[in-house]
Structure 1
Amino acid sequence: MTFEGVLTKMTTEFTSPVNYYLIFNDNFIHMNQLLDKTIRFSFVKYECLNCHLDKPIFRQGFCKSCFFDIPQAADWIMKPELSKAHLDEEERDLDYEKRVQLQPHIVYLANSSNVKVGVTRKTQVPTRWIDQGAHEALEILEAPNRYLAGITEVALKDFVADKTNWRTMLKNDIKDEDLCVWREKLIPAIPEEARDYIITNKKETEIQFPVLHYPKKPKSLNFGKTQHYEGVLKGIKGQYLIFEDDTVCNIRSNEGYVIQLTIN
């Protein structure tokens, strides 16, 4: 059976374990059903997720011209503390920036490779944690806009990481942490202007992933460099497909690539 389409972030369903779906324009694949099956990928062409043209992907699934033009790729996406919509100041598209920035945002702790702090829109809980491969996570603050969440994250980065070590996460070389204890340690570091939004009544969320075998030495697959690959799917964690030969494919880093997927 063969499918063809442009890769975008897998859709997830918060079950135990998590359900993963690869969505194409006219079809979808329930990836959990492919565990222990041989899958063959072939690169077909590029398709920018914004202009939909066959142009080389620069970052985040966008071609270079779109990446430096559209609001979905502006600096405040990766650095929430740069948000300015609450000041009525435009960076690329004020209407879009207001829609995204001026809504409730969660500052959270997650444990994927180590304890880290992060920011996401409230509507993206627990999706964001699943995408990062976190096996446990905890909300610690709910801010009314992205800016306040962002400055809180910056303040807490002095005490915990803000990045996930993807190799450690995929090898499952991690330990359980009491995130409620971490929350109490970090509360004093939260900026004064965000303190009214601290959350203390939440419990940890635990996440189970569909993994039969964790890689010992993960090898990254990029369809811009390797245009054909075949392997036995052994697991899915975060947005990574894990194969029997320790090859791992980060679907997010391959967004914008049109591929053929054949199931044997």
Structure 2
Amino acid sequence: MTYTATLQKMQTEQANPIQYYLVFNDNFIHFNQLLNTKISIEFKGYQCLNCGQPKKIFRQGFCYDCFISSAAVGDWIMKPELSTAHLEIEDRDLAYEKKVQLQPHITYLALSSEVKVGVTRKTQVPTRWIDQGAIQAVTIVEVPNRYLAGITEVALKDYFTDKTSWQKMLKNEVSHADLLAERLKIESVLPAEAKPYFVNEPQVINLEYPVLHYPKKVKSLNLDKTPTFTGKLIGIKGQYLIFEDNTVFNVRSYEGYVVEITV
């Protein structure tokens, strides 16, 4: 069976293991059911996720024109500490920025390769952790806006990385750590504005992924250089498909790419 789709990040369902779905307008693929199955991916073109035009994708599924103008990809997305909606200051679209920034956010610790610190909207728990391939995660603070979560993350970057080593994550080379103990170590260095929001007795979330066996090395599929690929699916972790020949495909990196997927 062949599916034609404009790629967007896989939707997930928390279960043991995580369930993964690639959803398009009139159909979907449940990737868990395709483990140990050959899959072909063929690049066909582009479709900007914002304007819908067949323009080359620049970043995050957006063409260049949309990327430099849309409020959905402002600098505060990647750098929450730059959020200003709580001050009534507009970046690109104040109404949109209020809607996204002025809602509960959390700053968290996650274990995907090393212990990392990150920020997400509360409504994106545990999706954010799943997308990063974390095997465990725990909340540090729950705050009322994105700015407070962002400045907390900045303060903790002296103690933890804010990046995931995708290679280690996909090879399941994860450092051992006690997340509850780690978060207690840094309570005293939280910004004063965030300290009242420190979460007491949080639950550590454990996440299990559908992987038959982990590769010892990984090579990333680049659709621009290799527009056609066929391989046997042996796992899904983060937003990556893992194939038997050690090829890994980051679905999220190719949002806005139109592909044919044959099963």
| Residue identity in the other structure for 2:211 | V
TM-score (norm 2): 0.99
Matched residue SS, 2:151: helix
Instruction: Output aligned runs, 1:184-263, within 5 Å.
Output: 184-263=184-263
2:124 maps to 1:120: no
| Residue identity in the other structure for 1:208 | E
Asked if structure 1 preserves the Cα contact closer than 8 Å seen for 2:109 and 2:137, the reply is yes
User: CA separation in 2, counterparts of 1:175 and 1:195?
Assistant: 28
Q: Tell me by how many angstroms 1:16 deviates.
A: 0.4
User: CA separation in 2, counterparts of 1:63 and 1:175?
Assistant: 37
Runs of 4+ that moved beyond 6 A: none
| Residue identity in the other structure for 2:175 | K
State the partner residue of 1:183. Answer: 183
Q: Tell me by how many angstroms 1:215 deviates.
A: 1.6
Q: Tell me by how many angstroms 1:176 deviates.
A: 3.0
State the partner residue of 1:10. Answer: 10
User: CA separation in 1, counterparts of 2:188 and 2:41?
Assistant: 49
| Residue identity in the other structure for 2:135 | H
| Residue identity in the other structure for 1:4 | T
User: CA separation in 1, counterparts of 2:43 and 2:175?
Assistant: 37
State the partner residue of 2:131. Answer: 131
2:64 maps to 1:64: yes
Deviates more, 1:65-74 or 1:215-224: 215-224
User: CA separation in 2, counterparts of 1:64 and 1:12?
Assistant: 28
User: CA separation in 2, counterparts of 1:6 and 1:120?
Assistant: 25
User: CA separation in 2, counterparts of 1:100 and 1:225?
Assistant: 36
Instruction: Output aligned runs, 1:25-104, within 5 Å.
Output: 25-104=25-104
User: CA separation in 2, counterparts of 1:256 and 1:137?
Assistant: 29
User: CA separation in 1, counterparts of 2:154 and 2:198?
Assistant: 15
Q: Tell me by how many angstroms 1:224 deviates.
A: 2.0
Q: Tell me by how many angstroms 1:175 deviates.
A: 3.1
User: CA separation in 1, counterparts of 2:125 and 2:171?
Assistant: 24
Q: Tell me by how many angstroms 1:62 deviates.
A: 0.5
Matched residue SS, 1:113: coil
User: CA separation in 1, counterparts of 2:121 and 2:198?
Assistant: 15
State the partner residue of 1:105. Answer: 105
Q: Tell me by how many angstroms 1:216 deviates.
A: 1.5
Matched residue SS, 1:107: strand
Q: Map Cα deviations across residues 20-51 of structure 1 (whole Å, 9 max, x no partner).
A: 00001110011000000000011111001001
Q: Tell me by how many angstroms 1:203 deviates.
A: 1.9
TM-score (norm 1): 0.99
User: CA separation in 2, counterparts of 1:184 and 1:21?
Assistant: 36
Q: Tell me by how many angstroms 1:209 deviates.
A: 0.2
| Residue identity in the other structure for 1:75 | D
Indicate the percent of aligned positions where both proteins have the same amino acid: 61
Matched residue SS, 1:193: coil
State the partner residue of 1:156. Answer: 156
Asked if structure 1 preserves the Cα contact closer than 8 Å seen for 2:115 and 2:175, the reply is no
Matched residue SS, 1:66: helix
Matched residue SS, 2:183: helix
User: CA separation in 2, counterparts of 1:216 and 1:59?
Assistant: 30
User: CA separation in 1, counterparts of 2:175 and 2:82?
Assistant: 33
Matched residue SS, 1:69: coil
Matched residue SS, 1:162: coil
User: CA separation in 2, counterparts of 1:42 and 1:114?
Assistant: 34
Aligned residues: 263
State the partner residue of 2:170. Answer: 170
Asked if structure 1 preserves the Cα contact closer than 8 Å seen for 2:213 and 2:234, the reply is yes
User: CA separation in 2, counterparts of 1:135 and 1:37?
Assistant: 25
User: CA separation in 2, counterparts of 1:149 and 1:254?
Assistant: 28
Matched residue SS, 2:194: helix
Matched residue SS, 1:3: strand
Matched residue SS, 1:152: helix
